[in-house]
Amino acid sequence: MSSTASTSKILVIDDNPTNLEVLCGALDGQGYELLVEMDGHGGIEQAQTNKPNLILLDVMMPGINGFETCQILKENPTTREIPVIFMTALTETENKVRGLKLGAVDYITKPFQQEEVIARIQVHLQLHQVTQELAAQKAQLEERVQVRTADLTQALEELKAAHLSIVQSEKMSSLGQLVAGIAHEINNPVNFINGNMAHLEDYAEGALKLLELYRTHYPNGDAEIEELAEDIELDFLQEDFPKVMSSMRLGIQRISEIVTGLRNFSRHDEAEMKPVNIHEGIDSTLLILQHRFKPHPDRPKIEIIQDYGKLPNVECYAGALNQVIMNLVGNAIDSIEETNQPGQIIIQTCPVQETHVQIRIKDTGTGIKDEIRDKIFDPFFTTKPIGKGTGLGLSISYKIVTEKHGGTLTCSSQVGEGTEFLIEIPVHQSSHAESCSPNSLRDSLREAFTA
Ligand SMILES: Nc1ncnc2c1ncn2[C@@H]1O[C@H](COP(=O)(O)OP(=O)(O)O)[C@@H](O)[C@H]1O
Ligand SMILES: [Mg+2]
């Protein structure tokens, strides 16, 4: 601390030349740099420009007195911290109290006792320096706390996101298994019925022909036969039977298609990247959402337009990509339903320079307001009522497209007109695929923990 003395600037504000002389004499040779002003205004100006380490301030001065000077110094942020010591006559207790109340740190009494003056000045210079060091340390500490808090907050966010992906991928994987299981189980009986349908049609046709022949050759049958023919409405039966058969055939074909769609959707081989036909994925996803396009008294009609370009097979996690399409088309349906007007969803695909493909999903729904455009990809952000929206669809889709496939997912929208989401992914996954193995989730979680 002894270095303080050699570098400290002391400003003396006093109008009395005798006092100044005595003080300067006392402080001379102590290694201080002395600044002198003879009135309050000059003192304030000097304090502002030269930033002394300490101010010795006289009370009685022409112009503004010491109290007013002190008040102005304490109100100004640039001079507020400079310690002020009042100089007052021994008897003026009132002045001492007033000065201290105004923010002075001490007083010295006239006539000056040299040693006392020097001792007090030293004490306050040291105090001031320690206070300043403390303040600096405090600021440093606060800054460190802020940095740490930011680090922790980020780690927490990452952890939450990693957790979210794990939960979601678990959910999707069990959904995928369920769908694949059901599809597999239904597949056998469906094939069974499908295969027998042809025989059934043949047999029924034969039997009906035979009946027809009987009726032609023996028009006047026995009364009991006639009665039964009437009971079972034979004429109608003969006419309706082929219709029943063909409607059953349609039904069974439809189930077959659905089973194929389900298998395609679940793509149980999805743990690996494989070159797949993107259009098959889109079609099977649309099949699963089919029930939401069907006309319904409470819902507007939604027309789906598929405008497919010529795409190469694309190396991707087919199941995950189908999930993205499902989320985007699901949102498009929600948005059109919100308008209460019939609408359209256009699904467009096209190649980009042989290296990438684009999938656009465009709707004529509500559009997205500017103020929430930045938030829609955030986990848990939703504008839908509780129970309807989870706010997870887009954040997961974003992760799947960008992290799993090295692609981009962007959105453009006009309120009142609609929204378009654009997926662009590379046709081939190079080094990128490596870093996005299913293990990478676990790795990112581990990183978040150790961060
Ligand atoms: N096609 C769209 N049209 C209008 N708003 C949309 C569309 N897609 C997404 N949004 C907005 O983004 C939000 C987040 O979507 P998402 O992450 O899928 O969660 P959720 O559908 O559960 O709300 C939605 O609540 C909605 O406000
Ligand atoms: Mg959604």
Pick from 126, 133, 120, 119: which is nearest to 1 by CA? 126
Considering the four listed CATH numbers 3.30.70.2740, 3.40.50.300, 3.40.50.2300, 3.40.50.2020, the one that applies to the domain covering 3-112 is 3.40.50.2300
Which secondary structure element, helix H or strand E, spans residue 274, and what is its range? strand 274-276
pLDDT, average across residues 125-145: 94
Strands 343-352 and 356-363: antiparallel
The span from the CA of 291 to the CA of 63, in Å, is 90
| Integer Cα distance of 186 and 245 in angstroms | 21
For residue 316, the cross-strand partners are 274
Task: Give the tokens for residue 227.
Answer: 């009665």
Which pLDDT band holds residue 270 (cuts at 50, 70, 90)? low
Nearest CA to ligand 1 atom 1: 332
Counting from 1 in the atom list of ligand 1, the atom nearest the Cα of 389 is 22
Answer whether 364's CB lies under 8 Å from 343's CB. yes
Which residues does 366 contact at the CB level (< 8 Å), separation at least 6? 335, 338, 339, 415, 416, 418
The pair of three-digit structure tokens given for residue 25, joined into one six-digit string: 């004499």
Whole-number pLDDT of residue 26: 86
Q: What are phi and psi of 354, to 5 degrees?
A: 65, -10
Q: Using 50, 70 and 90 to split pLDDT, how confident is the model at 386?
A: confident
292 pLDDT tier (thresholds 50, 70, 90)? confident
Q: Which residues pair with 69 in a beta bridge?
A: none
Structure confidence by residue, pLDDT tens digits, 36-69: 999 999 999 999 999 999 999 999 898 999 999 9
* Residue 449 reports pLDDT greater than 70: no
pLDDT at 267: 64
277-451 carries CATH number 3.40.50.2300: no
3-state SS, residue 291: helix
Q: For residue 271, what pLDDT band results from cuts at 50, 70 and 90? A: low
Global pTM value? 0.54
Number of H helices, E strands in the chain: 14, 12
Among candidates 259, 212, 128, 20, which has minimal Cα distance to 251? Answer: 259
Residue 412, strand partner residues: 420
Residue-wise pLDDT tens digits, 163-180: 877 776 677 667 777 877
Q: Where are the domains of the chain?
A: 3-112, 277-451
Choose one of 302, 382, 400 to mutate for the ligand 1 pocket test, by most ligand atoms within 8 angstroms of C-beta.
382
Using CA atoms, how far apart are residues 74 and 55, in angstroms rounded to an integer?
12
Strand order in the sheet with 408-414: 302-307, 343-352, 356-363, 418-426, 408-414
Span 150-164, pLDDT tens digits: 999 999 988 887 787
Summary mean pLDDT of the chain: 86
Using a 10 angstrom Cβ sphere, with 0-12 exposed, 13-18 middle and 19 or more buried, the burial of residue 5 is: middle
Rg of the chain taking only CA atoms, in angstroms: 44
User: Any idea which residue has 């029924």 for tokens?
Assistant: 204
Owner of token pair 């029943």: 244
Beta bridge partners of 54: 10
Among residues 279, 262, 333, which one has the least CA distance to residue 304?
Answer: 333
For ligand 1, atom 24, the nearest C-alpha belongs to 382
CB of residue 168 inside a 6 A radius of ligand 1: no
Which ligand number lies closest to the CA of residue 421?
1
User: Does residue 323 line the site of ligand 1, with CB under 6 A?
Assistant: no
- Quick: pLDDT tens for 219-255: 887 889 889 989 999 889 989 998 998 899 888 887 8
Ligand 2 centre from 330 Cα, in Å? 6
Q: Is the pLDDT of residue 359 over 90?
A: yes
Q: What are phi and psi of 148, to 5 degrees?
A: -60, -45
Tokens of 18: 């005798």
| Residue the block writes with tokens 């027309």 | 303
Q: What are phi and psi of 419, to 5 degrees?
A: -140, 145
Atom 25, ligand 1: which residue's CA is nearest? 382
Query: Which residue lies with its CA nearest to atom 22 of ligand 1?
Result: 389
**How many angstroms is it from 376 CA to the middle of ligand 2?**
10
In 3-state terms, what secondary structure has residue 50?
helix
Distance 390 CA to ligand 1 centre (A): 9
Mutate to test the pocket of ligand 1, among 376, 378, 392, 410 (most ligand atoms within 8 A of CB): 376
- Give the angle subtended at the CA of 195 by the CAs of 189 and 196, to the nearest 5°: 90
| Distance between CA atoms of residues 331 and 48, nearest Å | 63
Distance 294 CA to ligand 1 centre (A): 21
Cα separation, 424 vs 401, in Å, equals 8
| Neighbour tally for 301: CB within 10 Å | 13
Q: Distance (Å, rounded) from C-alpha 299 to C-alpha 339?
A: 10
398 CA distance to ligand 1 centroid (A)?
Answer: 13
CA 110 to CA 81: how far, in whole Å?
Answer: 25
Determine the Cα–Cα distance for residues 301 and 320; give it in Å rounded to an integer.
Answer: 28
The per-residue pLDDT for range 315-340, each reduced to its tens digit, is 998 888 988 999 999 999 999 999 99
Reported as a pLDDT band with limits 50, 70 and 90, residue 187 is confident
404/323 Cα distance (integer angstroms):
13
CB 19 within 8 A of CB 58: yes
Which amino acid, residue 397? S
**What are 314's strand-pairing partners?**
276
> What is the CA(298)–ligand 1 centre distance, in A?
21
Ligand 1 site, residue 382, Cβ cutoff 6 A: yes
298 secondary structure, DSSP code: T
pLDDT surpassing 80 at residue 204: yes
